[in-house]
Structure 1
Amino acid sequence: MTPISKALMLGGALMAFAAPAAMAQTAADPVSPLQVHAMAQYPALNLSASGEVKVAPDMATITFGVMTEAATAQEAMAQNAAQMTRVAAALRRAGLGERDIQTSGLNLQAQYDYVENQPPKLRGYQATNRVTVNIYDLNAVGTTADAVVAAGVNQIDGISFGLRDPSAAENQARQVAVRNLQAKAQLYSQALGVPLGGIRSLTEGGGYTPQPPMPMFAMRASAMDSASTPVAAGELSVRIDITGVYDLAR
């Protein structure tokens, strides 16, 4: 045998011994492509569940406005500003701070009269100023609405109730959702007669969503009747949706 042939045979033997070691090292990796493929072949349950809790709101949001009309744009805006100044003073007397009051709309439009077969005729101008306020004393919602109406508000767009910090309610809903998911997984496992394995993945959706405004009708309190506009806060629903994948033991 030539020296070259002996060198080739020795090199092949060394490669044969090295190959199992390399394979063993690959198999020891935390997550190899081979392992991922094997995991995908395991039987699994893909389930969804939800958790919902009812909580009392701790704040109310009201959007209202002042609308004025006048022959000129300047006069319409001046009248609107005067009324809004009185409204702002009424809000301060009701205990609202500057950070609880936000201008949500300011609009000025020309107003026309339309007659058939005639060009539009300018009637005047309409100015609208809308304000959104947050009220944290729910017992004061009705009296606050009456106060701003008495001060000059002639439009109330709606009221909504909410939570200043929904995290506690969301966490409670998460616990309910997980318990419901676990119970559902156990039910399927028993029905299939297959032991339930560990959970492979868990995803979440949903959460606290602010309530959309609801119509609110405010009435000016008269001297004969000092009762304020009735307002019922009710309850809010906080819901969490989850999806989990469970392994089934073979």
Structure 2
Amino acid sequence: MTTTNNTRVALVTGGSGGIGAAVVERLARDGFAVAVHYAGNAERAEKLVAEIAAAGGQAIAVGGDVADEVAMAEAFKATSEAFGGIDVVVNTAGIMALSPIASLDLDVLDRMHRTNIRGTFVVSQLAANQVRDGGAVINFSTSVKKVALPGYAAYTASKGAVDALTMVLAKELAGRDITVNAVAPGPVATPLFLDGKDEETIERMANMNPLHRLGTPDDIAEVVAFLAGPCRWINGQVVYANGGMV
């Protein structure tokens, strides 16, 4: 299934649902061959692959725990073997658990940081060694860091680590024309955000930005597509995609 010389290739972690699926669909529309990564829902990933193929695009599904360097090395290998290389890695995979610091179960803390910090590091390390010159690495942070909402300490701490990793990697890849950035969404209407929240909380958070709505996965995919495609002069940055939330 090797692509033509002009086809760029993207691997999207967490690509089977939510923001990740929107990113996959957008990059496929932009002409990328896409590897749709999943951790636990192979059926959903395969369905997305079939939809892309039906629309004339190229896609495969690859699985694995993002924090497992062996599993993710296999996912990178499968992508390169299918399409001839990798140009863009988008690391949307992440988990969020909310709790006050005083009562957070430390096992939950460890599990979240394993995915959000170690997982991002594993994927970034593989990307640093395999993304072709002229490519892009796009990690995922969060805008909630800026507003310090109660209950979000562990999650935002993990995403603060993503910011630091992203900025350092951009400098470490100097000379290869590879951009490394992080996208920091505000509240987005996905199951990850909506789960466990009542209507009052959702409305309050929707009104934290002057557009007075939640973001959509497509809003975030638009930013990713810009960083993955035409944008070559934004590098080592955290791009806040939040409708103006401060």
Larger radius of gyration: 1
- Please give the TM-score of this superposition, normalised by the length of structure 2: 0.25
- Please give the TM-score of this superposition, normalised by the length of structure 1: 0.25
Point out which structure has higher relative CO (alpha carbons under 8 A, 6+ apart).
Answer: 1
